[in-house]
Amino acid sequence: MIFSLLNVRKKTAAVIAGLAIGATCLWAVAAWQNVSREELINILLATLLMLAGIMLAAFIIIAGCKLALRLVQKLGRSSPSAASTSSEEE
């Protein structure tokens, strides 16, 4: 394979080959359907914006879940100790 001459890892070579195949297919379909370059760029930017939004939403959800879990753990640790001190005082 040509990537063996470039001393690239197999996974990196697979990613590069996949991107090249995808770009070639996109170019072929765009040429076949007479899609303008500006329209392709608009579609690309919209797709990147959508992916960035999905990544941001996932980050916010994960951070919120971790924060809620830590809050529950802290409340779980402090509740039994508070209950045991109040029962000891009686």
Report the pLDDT value the prediction gives residue 59, as an integer from 0 to 100: 97
Please say if the pLDDT value at position 74 is more than 70: yes
Torsion of CA 62, 67, 72, 77, to 10 degrees: 130
Contact predicate 42/29, CB 8 Å:
no
Quick check: pTM over 0.85? no
Quick: pLDDT tens for 8-55. 778 888 888 888 898 888 888 888 888 888 888 898 889 989 999 999
